[in-house]
Structure 1
Amino acid sequence: MPSDTSDIVWTGDFTQDLKDEITRWTTLLTSAEGFAQSVARRLKLKEVAVYRRDKDGKPHSRVAFELVVDEDMVNLNETMHGGCTVSLIDICSSMALTILAIYLGKPYNFVSQALNTTFHAPAPLGVKIEIVSTTVSFGARTVSAATEIWDATNGRLCMTGAHNKMASSQPKL
């Protein structure tokens, strides 16, 4: 993910320092070594938004990424593998939650509590997908986000996910 933020649509009151911190964090998360990082490295950050929800006035964030479904992401049917889908929902929803935490100046050391996924339609090899994650709740101990994965090439919703996370505690030794 590039450190240049000029091609990202920023909506909300972001200082350059906040943009830099968010970009550093997303770059770190998508460039680290580990499970599914070959896919995460190809995520292209397109949009970051922080806003107040109309119903209750609470702050929320929305983040959007693009990615082309490639060979290392598909199953035998040449559609995006379920494991790849869940991994992308995990990464992108975590980014939405972390961006809101950074924006609010709060800790962001969350761990997954539950991640539910619904498959609506396949995302075939070669299509461009858009992954949109939006925070749902942001409490002191638990946070949650919703994610939609769209086949941007054909204009259809493929997968949705609900991710609940909780504040991590120090390990007991």
Structure 2
Amino acid sequence: MSPSSPSSSSPHRVNGTKPHTVDQISGNCSLAIKQTFLNPGMVFATLDRDGKYRALGFAMETVFQTIIVTHISHSDAPAHWETSWKKPDSMVSQATEKNSTNQVPAQSGQSVESVTLICEVDVSPDMANNHHLLHGGCTAFLVDMCSSLSVVALTMMRRSIKSPSPAVQNHPAQFDMLSQSMNVVYHSPSQVGDRLRIVSTTMPMRELVSNVCVQTEIWSTTQHRLVASGVQNMMKMSSGSRL
């Protein structure tokens, strides 16, 4: 992944529809952070040859540009931090209802334990195989990118606690994580035209660790069933590494 740049100020439109707005993103994170995720593609923007930041790379200008973020929430670490991981709600509706209210963002002195980020996208023909079903490779791509978005959100929230300035909150953190392993389980097919809801939850861990693990579930809201689930382990890029 390339370092992130400031998100685009222009409204994010999907297939010519009306712009996606901050009011359409639920959850208890700050408005500044929600603003950053209005255009998910620009979170991983790349500097092109013309000196402009664009969403470049595999499927970034096609599939990823059609994704919208609908929910970002965090849970705070308790006073006595436990290393045990609490399994998140398996049902998307429960996860959304639990964190749907705009509560007060984490304040100074608190620690963000985990983040839940929900994306939505419609299955288009260029995401499908020759049977007009969501391609397995595209499914893995969605797990990879949406789980990465949740890690960016987690990093931004933790950084905003240490430095609550709006200028810090609405600038995406440099994404210095690399995929270490990713396991995807395919549960059911999804047809072209289906609406997908992708729920990514970071597993609670201490802030200073160099690894992060994210659980992602892809649900078809059209078919009312689980399409795929995955777990991605990510590690911090060492300062001296060169890809």
Category of TM-score, reference length = shorter chain: 0.7 to 0.9
Matched, 1:166 2:229: no
Letter in 2 for 1:129: L
Q: TM-score, normalised by structure 2?
A: 0.63
Matched, 1:17 2:84: no
Matched, 1:35 2:49: no
How far apart are residue 29 of structure 1 and its match? 3.4
User: Superposition RMSD on alpha carbons, in Å?
Assistant: 2.5
Identity of aligned residues (%): 28
Equivalence for 1:48: 72
Q: How does 1:1-173 map to 2 (within 5 A)?
A: 1=12, 4-12=21-29, 14=30, 16-20=31-35, 22-23=36-37, 26-29=40-43, 32-37=55-60, 38-52=62-76, 56=82, 59-105=113-159, 108-139=175-206, 140-169=209-238, 170-171=240-241
Contact 2:34 2:72 in 1 (8 A): no
User: Quick one: distance in 1 between partners of 2:234 and 2:205?
Assistant: 10
Kindly tell me the number of residue pairs found equivalent between the two proteins. Answer: 170
How far apart are residue 107 of structure 1 and its match? 6.2
Q: Give a deviation string over 1:85-143, Cα, whole Å, max 9, x none.
A: 00010000001111001100186410100011000000111111111100014452100
Q: Which has the higher strand share?
A: 1
User: Quick one: distance in 1 between partners of 2:242 and 2:75?
Assistant: 38
User: Quick one: distance in 2 between partners of 1:96 and 1:121?
Assistant: 24
How far apart are residue 25 of structure 1 and its match? 7.5
The 3 A distance-change label for structure 1 pair 149 and 107 is same
Contact 1:128 1:151 in 2 (8 A): yes
Letter in 2 for 1:128: R
Q: TM-score, normalised by structure 1?
A: 0.87
Q: Which aligned runs of 4 or more in structure 1 are off by greater than 6 angstroms?
A: none
Letter in 2 for 1:94: S
> Unmatched 5+ residue regions in structure 1?
none
The more displaced of 160-169 and 31-40 is: 31-40
Greater radius of gyration (CA): 2
Contact 2:123 2:134 in 1 (8 A): yes
